[in-house]
Structure 1
Amino acid sequence: MAAADATAPSSTAKAKVRKPNVLILLFDDLRFDSFSYRGGPVPTPNIDALAAQSTRFDLAISTTGLCSPSRAALFTGRWGHRTGLDDNVELWHSRLSKLSDDEGGLLRAASRNGYRVGYVGKWHLGERGPQIRGAEYVEAFEEEEAARKPYTPRDSLAAVRRYQAGERDAGGEKHQYYETLAGSYETSFTAEKVHKGQQFIREVAKEDGPFLAVVSFQQPHPPYRVPEPYASMFDPDTIKLPANHLAPRVATPLSQEYPWWPWHDVGHMTDRDWREARAKYYGAVAMIDRAVGDLIRTAKEAGLYDDLHIVLLGDQGSMIGEHGLYDKSAYAYDELMRIPLLMRDPDARPHVVERHVSLIDIPATLFDWMGLVPDKPIDGQSLAGLIDGSAGYKGPDDALYAYEWYNGAWFGLRALRTRDHKYVWNPGDALDELYDLKADPGETLNLIDSPRHAATLAGLRQRLLERLRAAEDPAAANLAALMDRSGKR
Structure 2
Amino acid sequence: MTDKQPNILFLMADQMAAPSLPFYGHKVVKTPNLSRLAEEGVVFDSAYCNSPLCAPSRFTLMAGLLPSRIGGFDNAAELSADTPTYAHYLRDAGYLTALSGKMHFCGPDQLHGFEQRLTTDIYPADFGWYVDWEDFEKRPSYYHNMSSVTQAGPCVRSNQLDYDDEVTFRAQRFLHDYARSDRDRPFSLTVSLTHPHDPYTIPQAYWDRYDHDEIDMPRVPYSRKLMDPHSRRLRHVYQCDEDTITDAQIRNARRAYYGAISYVDDQLGKVLKALEDSGLAENTIIVFSGDHGDMLGERGLWYKMSWFEGSARVPMIVHAPGRFAAGRVKESVSTMDLLPTFAEWANDGQAPEYAVPVDGRSLIPHLTGQGGHDEVIGEYCGEGAIAPLLMIRRGRYKFVHSAPDPDQLFDLEADPLELTNLAEDPEHQDLRQRFRDEVASRWDTETLHQQVLDSQRRRKLVARANMKGRVTSWDHQPYFDASVQYMRNTIDLDDLEARARFPKASAER
Compute the TM-score of the two structures, normalised by the length of structure 1.
Answer: 0.80
More deviation, 299-308/229-238: 229-238
How far does residue 474 in structure 1 lie from its aligned partner after superposition?
3.5
Q: Does 1:52 align with 2:22?
A: no
Q: Does 1:461 align with 2:436?
A: yes
Instruction: Describe how 1:266-415 pairs up with structure 2 within 5 A.
Output: 267-329=243-305, 331-345=306-320, 346-371=322-347, 372-389=352-369, 391-394=370-373, 397-403=374-380, 405-407=381-383, 409-415=385-391
8 Å Cα contact 2:41/2:318 also seen in 1 = yes
Distance 1:187 1:393, change over 3 A: closer
Q: Which amino acid aligns with 1:456?
A: L
Q: Which amino acid aligns with 2:6?
A: P
Q: Which residue of 2 aligns with 1:100?
A: 80
Distance 1:36 1:62, change over 3 A: same
How far does residue 181 in structure 1 lie from its aligned partner after superposition?
1.8
Q: Which residue of 1 aligns with 2:56?
A: 69
Counterpart-to-counterpart distance in 2, 1:199 and 1:418: 42
8 Å Cα contact 2:55/2:74 also seen in 1 = yes
- What is the percentage of aligned positions where both structures have the same residue? 28
How far does residue 107 in structure 1 lie from its aligned partner after superposition?
1.3
Residue 411 of structure 1: SS of its match in structure 2?
coil
Counterpart-to-counterpart distance in 2, 1:185 and 1:426: 36
Counterpart-to-counterpart distance in 2, 1:188 and 1:311: 24
How far does residue 130 in structure 1 lie from its aligned partner after superposition?
4.5
Counterpart-to-counterpart distance in 1, 2:279 and 2:234: 52
Alignment RMSD: 3.0
More deviation, 218-227/126-135: 126-135
* Structure 1: gaps (5+ residues): 1-14, 90-95, 164-168, 480-489
Q: Does 1:19 align with 2:5?
A: yes
8 Å Cα contact 1:264/1:327 also seen in 2 = no
Counterpart-to-counterpart distance in 2, 1:127 and 1:228: 37
Counterpart-to-counterpart distance in 1, 2:158 and 2:227: 45
Counterpart-to-counterpart distance in 1, 2:338 and 2:400: 24
Counterpart-to-counterpart distance in 1, 2:25 and 2:378: 26
Q: Does 1:196 align with 2:176?
A: no
The one of 419, 444, 456 aligned to 1:474: 444
Instruction: Describe how 1:134-149 pairs up with structure 2 within 5 A.
Output: 134-142=114-122, 146-147=125-126, 149=128
Compute the TM-score of the two structures, normalised by the length of structure 2.
Answer: 0.77
Distance 1:146 1:43, change over 3 A: closer
Counterpart-to-counterpart distance in 2, 1:438 and 1:20: 37
Residue 131 of structure 1: SS of its match in structure 2?
coil
Residue 432 of structure 2: SS of its match in structure 1?
helix
Q: Deviations over 1:344-370 (max 9, x none)?
A: 234121111111112111111011111
Distance 1:399 1:154, change over 3 A: closer
Instruction: Describe how 1:177-256 pairs up with structure 2 within 5 A.
Output: 178-183=152-157, 188-205=162-179, 206-208=181-183, 209-250=185-226, 252-253=228-229, 256=232
Q: Does 1:433 align with 2:390?
A: no
8 Å Cα contact 1:140/1:192 also seen in 2 = no
Distance 1:315 1:450, change over 3 A: same
8 Å Cα contact 1:31/1:336 also seen in 2 = yes
How far does residue 398 in structure 1 lie from its aligned partner after superposition?
3.3
